Amino acid sequence: MRLLPHIILAFIAIGLQRGLEALLTVGTARVDLVMIAAAFTATCFPRPLGSLAAVVIGLAYDLSGAGPIGLYAASLGLGGAAASALPVNRWPRQAGAMLVGISITAVLVWGLGLLRQWMNSDPLRAEYGFMGMAGTILLTGLLALPVSLALWKWRRAFTVEGPRF
Amino acid sequence: MRRKRARTIYWVLVTASLLMAVFGPRLGGLQSTTALAFVPVSHPANRLSNWLAFAEQPALDPASPEVPRELAEITAENERLRHRMADLQTKLAQLQQIHEDRRNLGAEILPRCTALTVVGGDGDVLQALGGGRARIEPGMPALHYGREIAGMAGIVSAATAAGAQVRLISDPSVRIEAVFARFDASRTEWVTLSTAPPLVEGAGGGLCQVARAAREDLEAAGLAQGDWALVADASLPIELQGYRIGQVTAIIDIPDEPGFARVLIKPAAELRRLKEVMIFRGER
């Protein structure tokens, strides 16, 4: 299994996201490198494993931040499941699958944030608000296109073929 | 079979994550410790980010040799030494500037502070490393300093042996009791405005706010843009009372509540871009 390239990709994505936080944030929106990495990883594995990998990346992201544990794990897991369910045999399809994964993840982060605020009286951070997440989808989606093209060129290092039967 | 097991693990993890995301507590200590694992990437990235943001200039060569050397070897050595000296002079100037800036914290406060280097962040929460043997605990105030002014940066939300997580005053979970004041240049003193004690809370996006204040009260006190919110919180150490929180940037009427306004406050520094925070330990 080609796990190591994905572990390195996720490690770098989370590290860069934490380190470049100020640079990647525009108002309340931000470019989320981890969403891109998780959506890409989800498309590289056969179905249940891709979603599982996205959950693990989300959990690592939660554990390295200051937000509620599980927020990104659940969102990336479900977003990753959507991305991995789509066909990715060409670059435009893979880019599309990643965009779907990113959008679903962002919407879920917003929804779960609202739910937590309602259930737990935990104030919703501006980044997790509607405008923040709408901007995040836009910015992350824009970056995901060129990044996915580069990753598509290197797909041999990442893709894990599923059993054909 | 393996596929089925993977699917089961996936759904267990997703369900547990969903429950934790909605009902779970924040685990600041664990998160702060785990964040250290990403420091090899996040710290250089953070420095790069600051370098790009502030466009730090490379050091200029201050040396000017009066006697030109002829021997190539001596010239090369000279060149190397000039660069080294220029580097050292720049570093010395930076350290002197940091020392000078830190003095803005106040002679009473500076010796009781521990400097932590910011290595990353997550929205209005900073991850900082350092502290050495100093005992840093959750709840300790974090301060910032700059060329001209110093002020409140946030509150330590979690601490480990290697560093701390600082929740900035712009984070919605941070609330500080304050007073509004204006600096009277003619008398060179602060004049407190007589409003009801405002509760300053984070508004996200690097801003603070007083969410609801009586418009009549604000107008009677003459609160205007440019006035300052200063710390007046009994839960914070007495030395920090009167410390700057931020400057009033707007007073906006609340549409649903006639007679009440929201006061937007901009912290005295760009808190998300801080390179260093000073943790006020309290003990001498």
Determine the distance in angstroms separating the CA of A93 from the nearest CA of chain B, rounded to an integer: 24
Instruction: Report the gap between the CA of B201 and the closest CA in chain A (Å).
Output: 11
Chain segment B35-44, per-residue pLDDT in tens: 888 889 988 9
User: Do the Cβ atoms of B21 and A70 come within 8 Å?
Assistant: yes
Cα–Cα dist B127/A66, whole Å: 9
pLDDT in tens, chain A (165 residues): 578 889 999 999 999 999 888 888 888 899 999 999 999 999 988 878 889 999 999 999 999 988 888 999 999 999 999 998 888 888 889 899 999 999 999 999 999 988 988 888 777 777 888 888 999 999 999 999 999 899 888 888 787 765 544
Q: What does the CA dihedral A65, A70, A76, A81 come to, rounded to 10 degrees?
A: 160
Q: How far apart are CA B95 and CA B89, in angstroms?
A: 10
Please name the residues in contact with A38: beta carbons below 8 A apart, sequence gap of 6 or more. A10, A53, A54, A57, A58, A61, A76, A79, A80, A101, A105
Closest residue in chain A to residue B46, using alpha carbons only: A19
State the pLDDT at residue B109.
82
B273: contact with A, CB 8 A cutoff: yes
Instruction: Provide the pLDDT for residue B24.
Output: 83
Instruction: Inspect the interface and report whether the beta carbons of B31 and A123 lie closer than 8 Å.
Output: no
CA–CA min distance B128, chain A (Å): 11
pLDDT in tens, B82-136: 999 999 999 998 888 888 887 777 778 888 888 899 998 888 899 888 877 778 8
Residue type at position A66:
A
Q: Write the residue in A49, A64, A77 that is nearest to B35 by C-beta.
A: A64
Cβ of residue B173 closer than 8 Å to a chain A Cβ: yes
Give B48's contacts in chain A (Cβ within 8 Å).
19-20
pLDDT of residue A162: 57
Question: B230 in contact with A at a CB cutoff of 8 Å?
Answer: no
With 0-12 / 13-18 / 19 or more C-beta atoms within 10 angstroms meaning exposed / middle / buried, residue B84 is exposed
Assembly ipTM: 0.87
Which residues between 12 and 51 in chain A have a beta carbon less than 8 angstroms from any beta carbon of chain B? 12, 14-16, 18-23, 25, 27-28, 46, 48-49, 51
Q: What angle (nearest 5°) sits at the alpha carbon of residue A11, between those of residues A5 and A12?
A: 90
The DSSP symbol for B60 reads P
Using the beta-carbon criterion (under 8 Å), do B127 and A67 form an inter-chain contact?
no
First to last CA, chain B: 64
Pick from B39, B50, B165: CB nearest A66: B165
- Sign of the CA dihedral A110, B18, A116, A123? negative
Q: How many CB pairs under 8 A join A and B?
A: 174
Amino acid present at B229: A
B61 pLDDT band, cuts 50/70/90, is very low
Q: How confident is the model at residue B281 (pLDDT cuts 50, 70, 90)?
A: confident
The Cβ-side half-sphere exposure at B196, using a 13 Å CA radius, reads 9
Taking the alpha carbons at both ends of chain A, their separation in whole angstroms is 19
Q: Does B161 touch chain A (CB under 8 A)?
A: no
Per-residue pLDDT of B245-269, as tens digits, reads 999 999 999 888 888 999 999 998 8
Residue-wise over A104-141: b if at least 16 C-beta within 10 A, else e? bbbbbbbebbeebbeeeebbbbbbbbeebbbbbbebbb
Residues 6+ apart with CB under 8 A from B192: B179, B180, B181
Q: Which CA distances in Å does B3 have to A40, B28, B270?
A: 20, 35, 49
pLDDT band at B230 (very low <50, low <70, confident <90, very high): very high
CB A126 to CB B123 under 8 A?
Answer: yes
Helix (H) or strand (E) holding A66: none
Indicate the pLDDT class of residue B62, thresholds 50, 70 and 90: very low
Is B23 in contact with A120 (CB distance < 8 Å)?
yes
pLDDT in tens, B157-201: 998 888 899 999 999 989 999 999 988 878 778 888 888 889 999
Which B residues 179-208 touch A at CB under 8 Å?
Answer: 202-205
Instruction: Write the residue in A28, A48, A74 that is nearest to B17 by C-beta.
Output: A74
Chain B positions in Cβ-Cβ contact with residue A123 (cut-off 8 Å): 172-173, 202
Whether residues A119 and B272 touch (CB distance < 8 A) is answered with no
pLDDT(B138) > 60: yes
Q: Which amino acid belongs to residue B159?
A: A
3-state secondary structure chain A: CCCHHHHHHHHHHHHHHHHCHHHHEECCEECCHHHHHHHHHHHHCCHHHHHHHHHHHHHHHHHCCCCCCCHHHHHHHHHHHHHHCCCCCCHHHHHHHHHHHHHHHHHHHHHHHHHHHHHHCCCCCHHHCHHHHHHHHHHHHHHHHHHHHHHHHCHHHHCCCCCCC
Closest Cα to residue B277, out of B162, B123, B122, B167? B167
Say if residue B221's pLDDT is above 70: yes
Rounded to whole angstroms, the Cα distance separating A28 from A135 reads 8
pTM equals 0.64
Whole-angstrom distance, CA of residue A74 vs CA of residue A70: 6
